[in-house]
Amino acid sequence: MSLFAIGDLHLHFQSVLKAPGQQKGIWKNHEEAFRRASEKRIGPEDTLVLAGDHSWGKDLAECEQDFAYIMGLPGRKILLRGNHDRFWDAKKTEKLNRQFEGRLFFLQNNYYAYRDYALVGTKGYTFEGPFYLDGRGRIKGWDAEEKERADALVERELERLRLSFEAASRDGYTKFIMFLHYPPTNILERKSGFTQMAEAYRARQVIYAHCHGEARFHDSLTGVYKGVEYRLASGDFLAWQPLKIMD
């Protein structure tokens, strides 16, 4: 029994692809590449966490074929919200969990038990600019209004993450794997409310996605930092191989 993760499948079997770059290079036939890699490495008793940005579909009806693809992958599938997942209203997560019971689990304000670990998580949020650069490409400032808006979203996501940790703690769990869609820190930070919460609850690992393209792969923490291991699981970074989190 093993735990795997990957993020950013950005499926579009029946919806409009809004990122033209996702047709070439590493993205060419990526659905097929990931399906094949999953079938090779993931067994029916394993668990796969999909760390957000599942589909370009604007609602559930437009995601139907994307969900059929996900449900056809091996193992138990746990889904996290990404910034493009318009089908998923955070407040209606319980309804999604009822609708897909026994087939998919939607992780939001709740947790999923894996051995003696609780899998917890939320979408997260990070400030992505605009940043202002000097002549040598160094950041000399940023848009204060956007930063303020981002700070409010970070606060809301931290509250949702706390609900997830607390739901697991109430049920007696003390070991956690934490999932975010956004990276835990923005490119200016080495710590954030998300890293502090991971440390406070002693999460073993923090898995995140969202960063596409080589230029973005090092936007946030990777490796062990204050006792927590940070790992990027965006699909293009992993070349569509599921990332093994633990046995």
Contact 2, 247 (CB under 8 A): yes
The reply on whether position 219 binds Fe ion by CB under 5 A is no
Rounded least distance, CB 210 to Fe ion, Å: 4
Q: Kindly report the backbone phi and psi dihedral angles of residue 79, in degrees, each rounded to the nearest multiple of 5, phi listed first.
A: -110, 140
Binding segment for Fe ion among 78-86, 101-109, 140-148, 150-158 (CB under 5 A)? 78-86
Of the ranges 46-54, 102-110, 157-165, 195-203, which one interacts with Fe ion (CB under 5 A)? 46-54
Q: Any idea which residue has 């981002």 for tokens?
A: 150
Least gap, CB of 69 to Fe ion (angstroms): 19
| Closer of 53 and 219 to Fe ion (Cβ) | 53
Stretch that binds Fe ion, among 18-26, 50-58, 193-201, 217-225 (CB under 5 A): 50-58
The only residue of 23, 29, 83, 99 in contact with Fe ion, by rule CB under 5 A: 83
- If the CB atoms of residues 108 and 118 are measured against Fe ion, the closer one turns out to be 108
- For 238, phi and psi rounded to 5 degrees? -85, 5
- Residue with smaller CB distance to Fe ion, 173 or 208: 208
Q: Which of 54, 77, 162, 210 binds Fe ion (CB under 5 A)?
A: 210
195-198 CB contacts, 8 Å cutoff, 24+ apart? 195/221, 195/225, 195/226, 195/228, 197/158, 197/161, 197/162, 197/165, 198/228
Question: Which segments of 72-141 does DSSP mark as H helices, in order?
Answer: 93-99
Distance CA 170, CA 158 (A): 18
**Segment 129-188, which members bind Fe ion (CB under 5 A)?**
none
Three-class SS state of 81? coil
The pair of structure tokens assigned to 246 is: 């633990």
In the complex, residue closest to Fe ion by CB: 210
Residue 207's nearest CA partner among 238, 178, 246, 244 is 178
Among 16-24, 69-77, 143-151, 204-212, the segment contacting Fe ion (CB under 5 A):
204-212
Q: For residues 103-132, which are near Fe ion according to CB under 5 A?
A: none
The reply on whether position 82 binds Fe ion by CB under 5 A is: yes
Paired strand residues for 32: none
For the bound state, the minimum distance from the C-beta of residue 90 to Fe ion, rounded and expressed in Å, comes to 15
Phi and psi torsions of 104, nearest 5°: -135, 150
Residue 168 tokens, joined? 């697991």
Which range binds Fe ion by CB under 5 A, 114-122, 145-153, 192-200, 205-213? 205-213
**21 is a contact residue toward Fe ion (CB under 5 A):** no
Q: Is 53 in the site for Fe ion (CB under 5 A)?
A: yes
82: left (phi over 0), alpha (psi -120 to 50) or beta: beta
Task: Summarize as ranges the residues that interact with Fe ion (CB under 5 A).
Answer: 53, 82-83, 210
